Chains A and B, each alone.
Chain A
Amino acid sequence: MNTADVVRTHGLTKQFAGGLLAVDGIDLQVRQGDLFGFLGPNGAGKTTTIRMLLGLTRPTSGSIEVLGHDVARHAHDALQGVGAMVEGPAFYPYLSGTRNLIIFDGAGAGGPRRTRKERVREVIERVGLADVGDRPVKAYSLGMRQRLGLASALLRTPRLLVLDEPTNGLDAQGIHELRTMFVELVREGTTIMLSSHLLAEVELICTRAAMMSSGRIVAQADVAELLAPTGWVRVTTPDIERALRTLQDGPFGYQQVAPDLVRVNMGDRPPELLNRAFVQSDIRVRELVVERPTLEDVFLERTGHGDIR
Chain B
Amino acid sequence: MIVVELSKLLRRPRTWVTIALLSGLPVIVGIFVKTSGLAPAPGEGPALLSEVLTNGLLFPAAALAIVLPLFLPIAVSVIGGDSVAGEAANGTLRYLLTRPVGRSRLLVAKLAAIVTFIFLAVIVVALVALAAGVVLFGIRPLSSISATELSPFETFVRTVLAITYIGWSMLGLGAIALFASTRTDSPLAASLATLAAFVGSQVLDLIDATKSIQPFLPTHYWLKFVDFYRDPILWRDVNEGIALQLVYVVVFLGAAWANFTTKDITS
Contacts and interface: CB of A to CB of B under 8 A. Distances in A.
Are A and B co-members of a single complex?
yes
Given A103-B8, A107-B4, A55 B100 contact: yes
Interface in B149-175: none
Contacts of A88: 91
Given A57-B264, A107-B4, A82 B98 contact: yes
A104 B95 contact: yes
Contacts of B13: 94
A88 B92 CA distance: 10
Given A55-B100, A80-B100, A84-B98, A108 B1 contact: yes
A132 interface: no
B247 interface: no
A142 interface: no
B98 A57 contact: no
Given A76-B100, A86-B95, A103-B8, 6 more contacts: A79-B98, A87-B94, A90-B92, A103-B7, A106-B3, A108-B101
Contact of B98 (A55, A58, A103, A106): A55
B266 A57 contact: yes
A54 B102 contact: no
B94 A108 contact: no
Contacts of B92: 90-92
Interface of A: 51, 54-58, 75-76, 79-80, 82, 84, 86-95, 99, 103-104, 106-110, 152
Contacts of A56: 94, 97-98, 264-266
B3 A90 contact: no
Contacts of A55: 97-98, 100
A109 B105 CA distance: 11
A195 to B, nearest CB: 15
CB-based closest 6 A-B pairs: A90-B91, A108-B99, A79-B100, A108-B101, A56-B265, A57-B264
A104 B99 contact: yes
Contacts of A57: 264-266
Contacts of A80: 100
Contacts of A107: 1, 4, 96, 99, 101
Given A57-B265, A76-B100, A90-B90, A152 B95 contact: yes
Nearest to B92: A90
B236 interface: no
Contacts, number: 81
Contact of B91 (A75, A87, A94): A87
Nearest to A47: B266
A91 B13 CA distance: 16
Nearest to A106: B4
11 contacts: A55-B98, A56-B94, A56-B265, A76-B100, A79-B98, A80-B100, A87-B91, A91-B92, A103-B8, A104-B95, A107-B96
A65 to B, nearest CB: 16
Nearest to A99: B11
A189 B115 CA distance: 44
B12 A108 contact: no
Contacts of A109: 99-100
A42 to B, nearest CB: 16
Contacts of B94: 51, 54, 56, 86-87, 90
Given A58-B264, A94-B12, A76 B7 contact: no
A93 B90 CA distance: 9
A161 to B, nearest CB: 12
Contacts of B99: 79, 104, 107-110
A86 B95 CA distance: 8
Given A57-B265, A87-B91, A90-B90, A95 B101 contact: no
Nearest to A102: B7
B124 to A, nearest CB: 20
Interface in B94-114: 94-102
A216 to B, nearest CB: 21
Contact of A76 (B1, B12, B102): B102
Contacts of A58: 262, 264
Contacts of B101: 107-108
Given A75-B100, A107-B1, A108-B100, A92 B264 contact: no
A51 B97 CA distance: 11
